[in-house]
Structure 1
Amino acid sequence: MKPILSVLTLLGFMLVLTGCEQGYSGNVGGVSAGEDGNLTFLNVEGQRQYDAQCASCHGTDGNGTPNGSSLVACATCTSLSVLADEISRTMPIGNTTACTGSCATDTAEYILYAFNNYALAATATSLDGVTNEDMVVTLRSAALKLAGRLPTDAEIASVENNGETGLSQVLNQLMNEEIFYDNLMEMFNLQLLTDKYLSSNQFEGGINLLDSDDFPNRKWYNDTYAADEESSIRACVRTITNDAVARAPLELVRYAAQTGQPHTLYMNADYMMVNWYSQQVYEAELVDSTATFRKLSEPVCDEDGIQLYYDPTDFKPARVTKDLEYELGGFPHAGVLSSPMFLNRYPTTFTNRNRHRSRIVFDYFLDTDILKIEGERPGDGIGSGTANPTLLDPACYACHQVMDPVASAFQHYTDRGQYVVTGSTSRNSWDSSDIEPAGLGGKTIPLSGTTGYFRNMVQWLGAEIANDPRFVKATMRTLYTGLIGQEPLLSPGDDASEADIAAYNSQRAILNTIGQAMVSDGWNIKTGVKGIVMSPYFRAEAIDAGKVVANEHIGATQFLSPEQMQRKLQATLGFGWDEFRTENNRIMYGGMDSDSITERIMEPSGLTIAIQMRMATEMACRSAALDFTLPVRERRLFPLVAATTTPYNTDGTASAGGEERIRENLVHLHWTLLGERLATDSDEINASYELYDALIQDGQAMLADPDSYDPRPSSWMEWECRARWYRQADGRTDGDLPEAMRIEQDETYAIRAWIGVLTYLMSDYRFVYE
């Protein structure tokens, strides 16, 4: 007889929190049912149990439904013992004792045999029906995206000579560069949104969130520097200090990646990250008592003899050990979970009771959307008239039994993120009679005894999340979204097409394989990044329309954010667009401020295209002549031509050598700016050459008869287009070039013809997509 499921059991089956969908076992490389590493039989009893207790949620074919995830290539489907343990402990959520022991083992055997045998052959570098782009093209895209630069000739040669092995080695090198760590933090901020508190968004935004009773030194710079120094030194220090406080949770991501430590520090680090400036705020003690902060050769802040040399980018682990206003014994650090920035970004209220924080924890760190839990929610949100609906009303309890234990774990934190231990005499009162006790996934936090965590509940929670299989999937989702520019596919529903099902199953298999490799490599997040870059989801060039796996989610080309575009300009032209220094321009170009605008624009609008056209025009004007002032070996744009190279001899006849060099340089520009590898006689190069030729002929005709035109043409270039100034990385002028280096006239019109070509190429949609 099939077991009869209770109301709560049925509701529980609707949850996304299924053990077979969420997680990681620690194994790498496919299903292993036993010592022989394979499963070759169908467990009939397991099939019966699956049909009775699982199929309504996960589908008879294991491909999932709107109420449950797919079990094909599921992350915990890597070994029989792990999957059986997951089912025994967590399934069904509404009645976790309904399938334990042999029931769990039989069901796991059936799932592995029926839905996961094909996963044995899954690889992370190929996908049926998808053609990967040339590895050198992948290298260029990866170098720009990871390190903000173009690949060197030596790196290109390594990939050409050594194939995927060479590409893998170069990726390792790229991920050791400083800009990679900045990009990594950028990826995580797309989700965390704590950059809201940077000084560029809010004046002392991060500092003001700290409680002045706990951290009376939070504005230490006000006491250190006199008011009459407000104009410079104090403002400089204040900005650096505030931004160090604001970025502390993201610096954990950088620190783990940079030092080769596990990414789980994001959840369970028993310290926070500080630089010299924010250490003064917290009066924190460095974990390594012998460590010192790095000083730079040039002062960071300088005014009237007052100079600070401490490097703002040098962050170190530290702990707040001093007694706080409402608690003795310091601050219980728990990675990002205890960060004042995180707690303020996702606050609570008296009635919400940390449930918003709980929802965010499940979403960001456990890849679980609480709002998708099925149930008959009352229209007024009050419940069915029971005294305590979150505990007693089945329609409410299905969600709250999952959400509320995590909410309870945050009970020692106020709405402003201040740490205040609860109790009968505490200013942070907490009534535990109407909410589930603190815990996660059916586990309750021990509050007393030698293993008690009453004061350190969030530390317990962070440790549990770090070991939870779903944290792997959540991390892969963050990396995938950051690198590919879109979220991973959702589980296909009942009405999904064959192509949708195949696409989801293939993606899930590949991402789970990458995630398992990342964890097996000591939770090295670089392994996850490299796995995605090496996968077809990053490298796809063409799709066979006849293959069911073909879908629009293949390929990593995405509209560049203002920050990414600025780095691309710096890599290709040598400096950025100074208009991107202002927040308003970044927002209009599709950026975000992590506050009121929390998502980047992924499809350009008419305004964005207009900005691109202006950017292309201005940057082409400013970069062309300036590039010609450099030695040939240092030129980014024109290494194959001189400023006076034209397609014509002095007598006006065609110059074969001149045209050849111009075409070769056009090949270089198409590669540098658009990532195209072309022949000198290709259609694209022909079009660019025809444009160049038309511009230079028209220009030379104007110079030959200037009186026939109004305004009167001249060999002198427009002021902004002249090579008169050095330029900083952000595009601002930085002093005058020596007179001998300057290029202010263009007597052959060749430079202005190149400006037109650069404008043409940078106006191409492929320049703003990468």
Structure 2
Amino acid sequence: SLQWLASQMAVDPRFNDAMVRIVYNGLTGAEPLAPPGDNATEAEWDAYNAESVQLDALKDSFVANNQNLKTLIKEIVLSPYFRADGLTTESFAIVHEDTGAARLLSPEMLHRKINALLGFEWRGPLDLYSVAKDNDRRARLLDDRQYYHQIYGGIDSFVVTQRLTEPNGLMVAVQERMGNELACYAVPNDFLTAAEQRLLMPFVETTTQPTSSANQEAIMQNIQHLHSHLLAEDLAIDDPELQLTYQLFISTLEAGQAAVGSTEDGNLPFLCRRTNDLLTGDDLASPLTTDPNYVIRAWIAVAAYLMSDYRFVYE
């Protein structure tokens, strides 16, 4: 019977090894290192031996706690192979070349991350979201017929059974489209809510321009917040990375304002406009369709820049 088979498998020592490796791979995104070959370097052997010691310790803890899966998960999360942020010295850089939990998010994981960070899923223009929110055929990262599930490395468990762990050209193109679309949707949508409830724009308004030191400080604070919220970067306010993003905002703002009246007008792009309630589809009392000073579009450029960064799709 299945019960007998399960009981026999559970007492086989290989079961414990397999469970540790499966859960380790699931949490870190990395396969345990294979034994180095005869021509392996000392560094490769050091890396393999160090990881093997850690895996053996995880297995011992798992077995000692009556094969409790919660214990195994906790021990992996607390291990240096999951939590390490970097090396304190370059001495072991070669040994730990492949160490770390950063991995390309699967389509399903990225789908959930977008919802958590932006407050909506990637299902197309937000004015149509009330219709699309319950239809997985409209979910850009879940549907493999019209959209990007398999293009972005997903599996169907029939023909495609192996997830892609390294991005290719098509996946990069999907990410660029994702960054541009989501920024277009998210920034105007965020400005519809009160500042204290916003996910992306808590420090600025649609009228905040760098015309005073107070406004410049608010813009920098919001850029710092976006780096933290979207890329999980804890950067000081004078960090060069924030300065680069600030310059992107300023250059986009200045170029856009100079073009308004000629190649640009005072309206948001059609698909970026917000006129309907996100969940009900009812008309908004105060729709957001215009951007006369180009501030919203400058923030859209910043958000697209950050969501096109590799750190947005890796964790």
TM-score range, shorter chain: 0.7 to 0.9
1:688 partnered with 2:245: yes
Equivalent pair of 1:620/1:756 in contact (CA under 8 Å) = yes
Whole-angstrom distance in 2 between the partners of 1:675 and 1:607: 25
Aligned to 2:143: 582
Structure 1 counterpart of 2:281, from 719, 735, 746: 735
Measured after TM superposition, the shift of residue 628 of structure 1 is 1.2
Pick the aligned partner of 1:594 from 145, 152, 157.
Answer: 157
| Aligned equivalents of 1:569, 1:726: Cα separation in 2 | 19
Rounded Cα–Cα distance in structure 2 between residues aligned with 1:472 and 1:523 = 8
Q: Which whole-Å deviations, capped at 9, do the CAs of 1:34-80 have from their partners, x for residues lacking one?
A: xxxxxxxxxxxxxxxxxxxxxxxxxxxxxxxxxxxxxxxxxxxxxxx
Specify the SS of the correspondent of 1:724.
Answer: strand
Question: In the alignment, is residue 516 of structure 1 matched against residue 60 of structure 2?
Answer: yes
Return the match for 1:763 from 274, 290, 308: 308
Amino acid aligned to 2:163: R
Distance of 1:474 and 1:628 partners within structure 2: 49
Judged with a 3 Å threshold, the aligned counterparts in structure 2 of structure 1 residues 464 and 549 are, in CA distance, closer, same or farther, namely: farther
Can you give the 5+ residue segments of structure 1 that lack an aligned partner in the other structure?
1-331, 335-458, 649-654, 729-733
Q: Structure 1 residue 580: deviation in Å?
A: 2.2
Larger radius of gyration: 1
Retained in 2: the 8 A contact 1:537–1:553? no
1:749 aligns with 2:286: no
Q: In structure 2, what is the Cα distance between the partners aligned to 1:552 and 1:580? A: 31
Would the alpha carbon gap of residues 727 and 588 (structure 1) be closer, same or farther in structure 2, given more than 3 Å must change? farther
Q: Distance in 2 between matches of 1:692 and 1:524?
A: 51
Q: Separation in 1 of the partners of 2:93 and 2:38?
A: 17
Q: How many residues align?
A: 296
Residues 646 and 518 of structure 1, relative CA distance in 2, 3 Å threshold:
farther
Opposite residue 767 of structure 1, the aligned amino acid is F
Aligned to 2:137: none
Q: Which whole-Å CA distance do the structure 2 matches of 1:721 and 1:613 have between them?
A: 17
Q: 1:610 aligns with which of 167, 173, 193?
A: 173
Residue in structure 2 matching 1:474, options 6, 18, 31? 18
Q: Secondary structure at the match of 1:739?
A: strand
Deviation at 1:636, TM superposition (A): 1.0
CA distance in 2, matches of 1:529, 1:727: 37
**For residues 343-354 of structure 1, what are the structure 2 equivalents within 5 Å?**
none
Aligned 1:370-449 pairs, distance under 5 A = none
Counterpart of 1:555?
100
Native 8 Å contact 1:562 1:580 kept in 2 = yes
2:255 maps to amino acid:
D
Say which SS state the counterpart of residue 141 (structure 2) adopts: helix
Structure whose residues are more often helix by fraction: 2
Superposition deviation, residue 634 in structure 1: 2.1
> Counterparts of 1:693 and 1:715 in 2: how far apart (Å)?
18
The change in CA–CA distance for 1:723 and 1:503 in structure 2 (over 3 A counts) is same
Measure how far apart 1:504 and its partner are. Answer: 1.5
Aligned-pair CA distance for 1:542: 2.5
Cα displacement string for residues 268-290 of structure 1 (whole angstroms, at most 9, x for unaligned residues): xxxxxxxxxxxxxxxxxxxxxxx
> In the alignment, residue 205 of structure 2 is paired with which amino acid?
A
Cα drift, residue 548 of structure 1:
7.7
- Mapping of 1:686-725 within 5 angstroms? 686-703=243-260, 706=261, 709-710=262-263, 713-725=264-276
Is 2:277–2:284's contact at 8 Å kept on the other side of the alignment?
A: no
CA distance in 2, matches of 1:496, 1:562: 35
Please state if 1:673 is matched with 2:230. yes
d(CA) in 2 for partners of 1:507 and 1:638?
43
Q: 1:688 to 1:516 in 2, by over 3 A?
A: same
Alignment-derived partner of residue 525 in structure 1: 69
Matches of 2:255 and 2:222, distance apart in 1 = 21
Once the two structures are TM-superposed, the CA of residue 541 in structure 1 deviates from its matched residue by 2.8
Asked if 1 retains the 8 angstrom alpha-carbon contact of 2:111 and 2:142, the reply is no
Read off the aligned partner of 1:659 and give its amino acid letter: Q
Cα distance in structure 2, aligned partners of 1:593 and 1:638 = 38
Paired residue type of 2:55: L
1:381-426 superposed Cα distances (whole Å, 9 cap, x missing partner): xxxxxxxxxxxxxxxxxxxxxxxxxxxxxxxxxxxxxxxxxxxxxx
Residue 498 in structure 1 maps to residue 49 in structure 2:
no
CA distance in 2, matches of 1:684, 1:568: 23
AA of the residue aligned to 1:724? T
Separation in structure 1 between the aligned mates of residue 93 and residue 282 of structure 2, nearest angstrom: 60
Residues 625 and 722 of structure 1 are in contact (CA less than 8 Å); yes or no, is this contact kept in structure 2?
A: yes
Counterpart CA distance in 2 for 1:503 and 1:487 is 13
Do 2:209 and 2:215's aligned partners in 1 also have CA atoms closer than 8 Å?
A: yes
Q: Which amino acid aligns with 1:580?
A: L
* Partners of 2:203 and 2:219 within 8 A in 1: yes
How far apart in 2 are the matches of 1:637 and 1:659? Answer: 17
Once residues 293 and 94 of structure 2 are traced to their aligned partners in structure 1, the CA distance between those partners, rounded to angstroms, is 54
Deviations 1:154-194 (A, max 9, x none): xxxxxxxxxxxxxxxxxxxxxxxxxxxxxxxxxxxxxxxxx
From 198, 201, 215, the equivalent of 1:658 is 215
Partner deviation per Cα, 1:436-458 (whole Å, 9 max, x = no partner): xxxxxxxxxxxxxxxxxxxxxxx
Is 1:628 the counterpart of 2:191? The answer is: yes
Q: 1:639 aligns with which of 202, 214, 234?
A: 202
C-alpha contact (below 8 Å) 1:518/1:527 kept by paired residues: yes
How many angstroms apart in 2 are the aligned matches of 1:582 and 1:547? 43
CA spacing shift, 1:583–1:727, aligned 2, 3 Å: farther
Label 1:633 to 1:528 Cα distance change in 2 as closer, same or farther (>3 A): farther
Name the SS of the counterpart of 2:149 in structure 1: helix
TM-score (norm 1): 0.37
Amino acid at match of 1:693: I
Give the Cα separation in 2 of the matches to 1:573 and 1:501. Answer: 44
One-letter amino acid matched to 2:274: A
Aligned Cα root-mean-square deviation (Å): 1.8
Once the two structures are TM-superposed, the CA of residue 633 in structure 1 deviates from its matched residue by 2.6
Cα pair distance change 1:549/1:683, threshold 3 Å:
closer
- Structure with more relative contact order (C-alpha pairs < 8 Å, separation 6 or more): 2
State the Cα distance separating 1:536 from its structure 2 match.
2.0
Where 2:30 maps in the other structure, the secondary structure is coil
Match of 2:118 among 573, 591, 598: 573
Matched letter for residue 758 of structure 1: A
Question: CA offset at residue 525 of structure 1?
Answer: 1.5
Contact 1:536 1:554 in 2 (8 A): no
Distance (Å, rounded) in 2 between the aligned partners of 1:588 and 1:520: 43
